[in-house]
Amino acid sequence: MAGPPRLRGAWTAKIITLFPEAFPGTLGLSLTGKALDHGLWALETIDLRPFGEGKHKNVDDTPAGGGAGMVLRPDVVGKALDQASIGTPPDRARWPVVYLSPRGRPFSQAMARRWAQGDGITLLCGRFEGVDQRVLDHYAVEEVSLGDFVLTGGEIAAQALIDATVRLIPRVLGNQASTEEESFSDGLLEHPQYTRPAVWEDRAIPDVLLSGHHGKISDWRRETAERLTKERRPDLWRAYCARHGRDPEEDQEL
Ligand code: SAH
């Protein structure tokens, strides 16, 4: 028997951080900011500091085994994760619990799409040398990376992930079609874009784009997207060719 219809609030990001003042940050601007104001999504920060130990509310300690820096304590982070779990569905498919980490699975448009279909997400922002491994294991926290570089904290990465996710929630972008044609949506990088003036610094917009011929325009866009992807991202190009039964080494007559 089907259960009762699920009552859904707006998609919500809960962010555990030592720096709640970093939010909404850029997420408060432009389309994501308007959508936040209009309640199309919601943001909740959970300050890690009050969960700290003792008079000084210590949240970190020195790394076991020695070495530079400090590590966020598992008991402190655990209390913050408990707080975040209040009122969230236990189904991780609907509400992932994620630690931002350079050791995590690389973030992707596919993840953003999946997350946008859930009810929300809990994001744990690390600082210093990161978080005690036991709390990640105990709470089965998924690790996701923004890319192969090291930031000083998870806050910028959290904002990037939220931005990419929230813009896929219906009605956040005015023009829904724009998320269907952009980079990665079909496995290709997007074609170049142009706007007025028609000639700038002796550079003209490609004639075909001003021809009004929709068939030719879409052919040009697909061909330039394919060429760019082949040049810049051979990894994406090979995957695209495999999906479409094409030879990645084929010559393109462009
Ligand atoms: N010692 C760690 C790096 C810690 S950087 C290591 O070498 O793996 C401090 C915090 O910044 C991390 O806990 C994480 O939350 C965040 N961070 C750093 N780089 C990141 C990245 N590429 N993606 C996501 N979060 C990152």
Give the confidence band of 112 by pLDDT, cuts at 50, 70, 90: very high
Give the residue ranges of the annotated binding site.
126, 146-151
Of 47, 46, 23, nearest to 166 by C-alpha is: 23
5 Cα: distance to centroid of ligand 1 (angstroms): 39
Pocket probe mutation, ligand 1, options 150, 152, 156, 159, max atoms within 8 Å of Cβ = 150
**Mean pLDDT, the chain, integer:** 94
Residue-wise pLDDT for 120-144, tens only, equals 999 999 999 999 999 999 999 999 9
Give the confidence band of 1 by pLDDT, cuts at 50, 70, 90: very low
What is the set of domains in the chain, with CATH numbers? 11-166 (3.40.1280.10), 182-243 (1.10.1270.20)
Mean local confidence (pLDDT), 182-211: 96
**pLDDT given for residue 6 in this prediction:** 43
Question: How far is it, in rounded angstroms, from Cα 247 to Cα 227?
Answer: 14
Question: How far is it, in rounded angstroms, from Cα 199 to Cα 92?
Answer: 52
**pLDDT given for residue 252 in this prediction:** 64
Mean local confidence (pLDDT), 214-220: 98
Residue-wise pLDDT for 79-92, tens only, equals 999 999 999 999 99
**16 CB near ligand 1 (under 6 Å):** no
With beta carbons less than 8 A apart as the criterion, state whether 7 and 139 touch: no
Of 142, 138, 151, 150, nearest to 105 by C-alpha is: 142
